[in-house]
Structure 1
Amino acid sequence: MAVGYNVVRHILPNWTVTQNMRYAHLDLLYRFVTTASLSADQKSINRTALNQQGNYNNVTLDTRSAVLFHTGAIHHEILTGVDFRSDFLANRRGQRAAPALNLYAPVYRAITWPGYAATTSNNETETDTGIYAQEQANWQRWYLTLSGRGDFTESMTVNNLNGARTPQNNNAFTGRVGLVYQSVIGLNPYVSYATSFQPQVGTTFSGSAFVPTTGKQIEVGVKYKPVKSLRGIDNFMLTADVFNLVQNNVLTADQVNTSFSVQTGQQRTRGFEFEGVGRLPYKIDFMASFTYQDPRVTRSTVAAQVGQRPVAIPSHMASLFLKRDVAFSFLWQAGLGAGVRYTGNTAGSLPLTFSVPSQLVWDLQAHIDRGRTRIQFNGTNIANRKYVAMCTREVACAWAPGRAVFVTLSQRW
């Protein structure tokens, strides 16, 4: 369940105050059997039965002010605000060994389910108050963005099994700086640098609370938007960039207690991206992108993982989507679009022992409008391809979702 609101107040023509609030509640109750390990002869799997219950409550509140003004030839847009987030997680879990299963002659025996909260019983409360400010200034053809944010977090993790209480206070300052030059020929080079801070909700198998994930990224690129249409291609923009991203305390699967997560030391990702959007001849809209990246574990408590590819992160991704809208009359309109998404192979375990094959899936979109009323059809993996989406270790893989179809009816006033 989730409920919220968004309020915008125009104090002056150049001054706006906005507030957003959202409350979300989630109840969790499920039992399942997971694979713990592969037998030494690789003919059977050892399994674990899990009984997990809990609930999660989240409240977010964001209030911000935006002001536009000039100082001489410099145009300013100042954004300031404060946001608050509160999380409560009650996690109850029991687990025990389940009967092993022969992969070549499976016999499914009765499962003895573990007791409620027999393994884990934690309550975790966390609050995060953030104060932020951003300045967007442009002078002639130069555009500068400066932003800063201070986070003040407090958390308390209570282990109900042994009574241990683990408080944490994590404060951090993060920021971003970006600079763009808009040339007369439509070629716009840019550079940006940003840091990040993200608190993590949850605990390890031993009940230790996760520490926040931090990161830093530098990006250099160029955007090209022609000042005139080129041979029937209108409103199009091409973007190319290179980037370097470093993250600390990233969540990864626990290789021993397989239904839990741990935090490794550091991951680094380098790569480049291309993206294009615009309108082709015959009023066909297109969106295309290609990404190459090289993710690596650069620091870890497990020496064999250093220099390896993290699981489930592809090195290549590409997509292409085409769409055509048609107006039959002033009242009736329709549109049809189709696209393809490619995801390259990923590491299936860490350290790498096998790879998950690449995937290619097709999507479809269609809509028909009558005035302000729209009926829209969205289909993903429309060919219903069956493939493994990801693996985190030799015996922990997940099938990708099959064909999914969504029909939406909307009304605008």
Structure 2
Amino acid sequence: MFNTKITPIAMLVASVLSAPALAEEAAISEKQADEKLTVLGKTYRNTATKTALLPEETPQSISTIDRETLDLRGVNSVSEALRYTPGVHTQLRGGAVNRLDLFNIRGFTNYQNYYDGLQLQYNAWNLQPQIDAFAVEQVEVFKGPTSVLYGAMPPGGMVNLIAKRPTMERATDVSVASGSHNLLEATVDSRGQIGDSNVAYRFLGKATKQDGMADTSKQERYLIAPSIDWHVSDKTLVNLNAYYQNDPHAGIYTTMPAYGTVLDNPNGKLSKNLFTGDENWNKFEREFGLYGFKINHEFNSNWTLLHATRYLDAKALQHNTYNVGLEPTDGRTVYRRAYLTDESSKGWTTDTQINGNFTTGMVEHSLLIGFDWQQLKSEVTYYDGATTSIDIYAPDNNQLNPNEVYDYIKGNPDGYNQVNSYKTTQTGVYIQDQMRIDRLIVMAGARFDQYKSDSVYHLAGDYTDSVDQNNTSYRLGGLYEFDNGISPYINYADSFEPTPGTDKDGNAFEPSTGSQWEGGIKYNSADMSQMLNLAAFHITKEGALTQDPDGAPHHQIQVGESVSKGFEAEGRWWATPNLDLTASYTYQNVEITKDNSGLEGKTPVWVPDQLANLWANYHFFGGSLDGLTLGGGVRYIGETQIDAANSSTVDGYTVADVSVNYGLGRLGSGLESSAVSLAVTNLFDKESYSCYDTLNCWSNDERRVVARLKMGF
């Protein structure tokens, strides 16, 4: 049984989710749904199925955030896009750290995002391609294990970002924005048919610059993303796409101690804008390009081939410090080390799918057969050494000479200096049959993966670590559609993650595996004005590494296990033709169930016990306010553990966000696609924190205001 204390906001969300559905007018019609699929294009495949099966027909939890919602809420990053999604906890490293999209799903941390169905390859250090929310048409969140379709992945789920694609309709949108932290931003989004040809294009461009939330820090980004759709024939589409991004400045990555933030400090409260690093040794320059193509070919009305390939070229240079201790006698002196990482990655990802539709007796089949392959080669140089301390109550962020720091840490014999080379390869073959018997939908799939990696550590003993692991994953689920719009479902799914290393006897570890049982109910009214998804889940992850009690301190054994169980509710309701509401609630109980290092029975860090969200939009039609939409949301993030030992907790918090959007069409012809908007994050400037341990905490977003003018042509 679950033992949980329901918060007031959770009760409010529950009341919205269970409100009687009395909509006067359908907000989403079948025609609009068809138009949405047209926007996403022929190459679109649902994240959960790699087919065009709708989320409400899929026997597993899926949440989607479309472009209209992203715009109405004034979303500026993928992490922000996920804030109102059940089961997802975002910005684990606070509001000042935004150089990566880090979150956990159903209690399991995930660094592996997908972009148009292909993995954004991450080198497990600091070089993670980060797609800007401006370039995204839709965000899809698949809850639970996804290894049957995507290979190595944490068991909590995955996020797939659908790119904006070319359209035959010609339009250009230009926007400028300004706001908090001296924000200056400009974007362009141009698309359309090229002359009278069978080729359509899209060009995205963005430039943004602002001060960071932490003292002395800066953020700067430039991106271009061109793409072309060549309609070779009615049956063949070729897409060429590129995404290039340059981040000369990416804020901070440093932390604050818990004492003075979430725990008492005799010296008082620390500033939420505290920077414990040094402005002369704070650098994160990232540059990456993604270059790919897709081919969609319909052999006939029943069989389709989709192939996608993408190449990654990325590099990043980082100068930073990290905290190694807080002086207990004064509670204000933090000891630091300085470090440098110089990283580069080159990688390929490819996925080939054949989808066939046919009937055997009473059973309609949608058969998917696929092969995917990816390879990543990465080089990492790491230098490290002690540096000066800092007084966190009177911080001097201008102590270090970068040339002196570089010379010292590069030649420091007591540092952790390394020059490493990595090569990883994953090959997968999968099959899935999506079967319909009248109102019953059954989905079954299996996959075989081979994962290989070779790591060479040149300055840490010149040794090589190789991994060669295989895994087979399975998935089975069923959903039944009743006449009244209610569809109960149940599913089982596997996941795996490669585990490098050997035990004290030289035996290679097996992959860490996960499995989920999930049952739920999906409801959609006949006019699509009401939607409700309920899900209960139980995830077990096995094979985590723990210390070997009979070996040396560095020896490990593979006995760790953790369990995540809980339930989620997500709903949308068009209460009137003007008012729409979305709400969600999550309760999760995540626990380490097997461990031999004292953590058994503990909850991992960064895992809130509850999440609750409510968002409302009110649309004005006619009269002097025609074209105005007022939006507002409240989100609650429950308490989390301050460290792995669960020595204390970090309080939960509630944050309010608001937005105002006004279409300029009523002001004159030619302005139908123009608008002004205002988005305010953390309206009441609520102070809150996230912690990994008592030495490493981060301040969450302070109040941020962004005003935008968009002109459409």
Q: Which residue of 2 aligns with 1:302?
A: 597
Higher mean displacement: 124-133 or 55-64: 55-64
Q: Which residue of 2 aligns with 1:257?
A: none
- Per-residue CA deviation, residues 337-392 of structure 1 (Å, 9 max, x unaligned), is 33222211111111012222223233445364869956585846252735344211
Inter-CA distance 211–345: structure 2 relative to 1 (3 Å threshold): farther
Q: Which residue of 2 aligns with 1:396?
A: 696
Higher mean displacement: 355-364 or 146-155: 355-364
Inter-CA distance 13–389: structure 2 relative to 1 (3 Å threshold): farther
Q: Which residue of 2 aligns with 1:181?
A: 480
State the identity %: 26
Q: 2:585 is aligned with what amino acid?
A: F
Q: Which residue of 1 aligns with 2:152?
A: none
Q: Distance in 1 between matches of 2:306 and 2:608?
A: 38
- Give ranges in structure 2 of 5+ residues lacking alignment: 1-287, 502-507, 547-557, 666-670
Higher relative contact order (CA 8 A, sep 6+): 2
Task: Give the CA deviation at 1:12.
Answer: 0.8
User: Which residue, out of 146, 154, 171, partners 2:444?
Assistant: 146
Task: Give the CA deviation at 1:14.
Answer: 1.7
Q: Distance in 2 between matches of 1:197 and 1:364?
A: 40
Q: Which residue of 2 aligns with 1:23?
A: 311
Task: Give the CA deviation at 1:407.
Answer: 5.3
Q: CA RMSD in A?
A: 3.4
- Per-residue CA deviation, residues 278-326 of structure 1 (Å, 9 max, x unaligned), is 32113422221100001112233522x2111100111101112223455
Task: Give the CA deviation at 1:89.
Answer: 2.2
Contact 1:386 1:399 in 2 (8 A): no
Q: Which residue of 2 aligns with 1:171?
A: 470
SS of the residue aligned with 1:311?
A: coil
Q: 2:610 is aligned with what amino acid?
A: H
SS of the residue aligned with 1:282?
A: coil
> Which residues in structure 2 correspond to 1:219-298 (within 5 Å)?
219-227=518-526, 235-248=529-542, 265-298=560-593
Task: Give the CA deviation at 1:334.
Answer: 6.2
Q: Which residue of 2 aligns with 1:359?
A: 653
> Which residues in structure 2 correspond to 1:67-78 (within 5 Å)?
67-78=356-367
Inter-CA distance 64–200: structure 2 relative to 1 (3 Å threshold): farther
Whose helix fraction is larger, Structure 1's or Structure 2's?
2
> Which residues in structure 2 correspond to 1:73-84 (within 5 Å)?
73-84=362-373
Task: Give the CA deviation at 1:156.
Answer: 0.4
Contact 2:563 2:592 in 1 (8 A): yes
- Per-residue CA deviation, residues 41-75 of structure 1 (Å, 9 max, x unaligned), is 36233322112211223321111111111122211
Higher mean displacement: 263-272 or 238-247: 263-272
Q: Distance in 2 between matches of 1:337 and 1:106?
A: 39
Q: Which residue of 2 aligns with 1:313?
A: 607
Contact 2:466 2:500 in 1 (8 A): no
> Which residues in structure 2 correspond to 1:48-127 (within 5 Å)?
48-103=337-392, 109-110=399-400, 113=405, 114-115=409-410, 119-127=417-425
SS of the residue aligned with 1:281?
A: coil
Inter-CA distance 33–287: structure 2 relative to 1 (3 Å threshold): same
- Per-residue CA deviation, residues 113-151 of structure 1 (Å, 9 max, x unaligned), is 311895222111001011111111111221101011111
Contact 1:388 1:397 in 2 (8 A): no
SS of the residue aligned with 2:329?
A: coil
- Per-residue CA deviation, residues 187-221 of structure 1 (Å, 9 max, x unaligned), is 3221111101234899xxxxxx9985431111111
TM, length-normalised to structure 1:
0.82
TM, length-normalised to structure 2:
0.49
| Residue correspondences, number | 388
Q: Distance in 2 between matches of 1:360 and 1:87?
A: 41
Task: Give the CA deviation at 1:226.
Answer: 4.0
User: Which residue, out of 116, 129, 132, partners 2:427?
Assistant: 129
Q: Distance in 1 between matches of 2:646 and 2:536?
A: 26
